Amino acid sequence: MTTQNSTADADRALKAKHRAMWAQGDYPSVASEVIPELGAVLVEACDVRPGQRVLDVGAGSGNAAIPAALAGADVVASDLTPELFEAGRRVAAEQGAQLTWQEADAEALPFGDAEFDTVLSCVGVMFAPHHRQAAGEMVRVCRPGGTIGLLSWTPQGFIGRMFAAMKPYAPPPPPGAQPPPLWGDEDHVRGLLGDRVTDVRAERRTVRIDLFPTPEAFRDYFKERYGPTISVYKNIAGEPDRAAALDGDLAALARDGNLAAGQDGTVMEWEYLLVTARRAG
């Protein structure tokens, strides 16, 4: 009993830490300004239609949930961090989308078995620390024959390399936690879903990012707005030399990825993996 209680306490503490990480900064602005089109890409790939019941896992401010609602679906936007919902509600109201917002842990979804026609996640569930647990929950709440859709940053792509660049400055991950960009590895995702799904389709794509005038502007934007980056800088707040080194590493990453070198502005292609599958049974 003591071991079970200790495990439960550790899990609650970890989830509280994750919630706080995403509540800081301004992730809704990242979703709306940097990658606004990705949610609609996933909704289209999942062929979301009017009348379907759709669950967005790790919905954030609704980057995929709102396009799904605008497609006519009955949508639940779920996230561990309800602080993100306020911005999503504003955008939904502006666009005339009606949907339900519900706090939920991706690793213990508060929904019944086979409750949804489509279960999707746009760079959301990939940040749940226990991948197999989260994948199992997505499959569980999807009806047999229903669609599971995932859009995740790849390990080899820009965001995957950004996480690799930040890793030496971050605290050690908790036991059992897996790196988020693994969800962008096709073999890893196939292993997570296993024989519980059929008709798996996986495709690497890129999104063009031309928002930032300089590599340093990219770095400063993410330092101010993106929860994981903010958390890493907080971890080395008392070490100015390491903070300066991380400053240099992130600017160098954007500089190396700049397709417009020698021209005005910074243009990057960020790679992601788009996966759709059908629940077996």
Question: 151, 174, 141: which is closest to 43 by C-alpha?
Answer: 151
Confidence of residue 263 (pLDDT cuts 50, 70, 90): confident
Q: Is residue 89 part of a domain?
A: yes
Query: Is 237 contained in some domain?
Result: no
pLDDT, tens only, 23-79: 999 999 999 999 999 999 999 999 999 999 999 999 999 999 999 999 999 999 999
Say if 241 falls within a structural domain. no
Mean pLDDT of 173-181: 92
Q: What are 124-159's pLDDT values in tens digits?
A: 999 999 999 999 999 999 999 999 999 999 999 999
pLDDT for residue 2: 64
**Residue 122 pLDDT exceeds 90:** yes
Residue 178: the pLDDT is 96
The count of structural domains within the chain is 1
Give the model's confidence band at 11: pLDDT under 50 very low, under 70 low, under 90 confident, else very high: confident
Q: Is residue 135 part of a domain?
A: yes
Please, what is the average pLDDT of the chain? 96
Q: Residue 4: which pLDDT band, with cuts at 50, 70 and 90? A: low
Query: β-pairing, 74-79 with 53-57?
Result: parallel
The percentage of the chain sitting over the pLDDT mark of 70, rounded to a whole number, equals 98
* CATH classification of the domain holding 83: 3.40.50.150
* Within a domain: 232: no
217: in domain = no
The 10s digit of each residue's pLDDT in 196-225 is 999 999 999 999 999 999 999 999 999 999
Classify residue 32: in a domain, yes or no.
Answer: yes
Structural domain containing residue 117: 2-208+270-279
pLDDT value at 281 more than 90: no
CA 150/CA 43 separation, integer angstroms: 10
Query: Is 233 part of any domain?
Result: no
Tell me the mean pLDDT in the region 219-247: 98
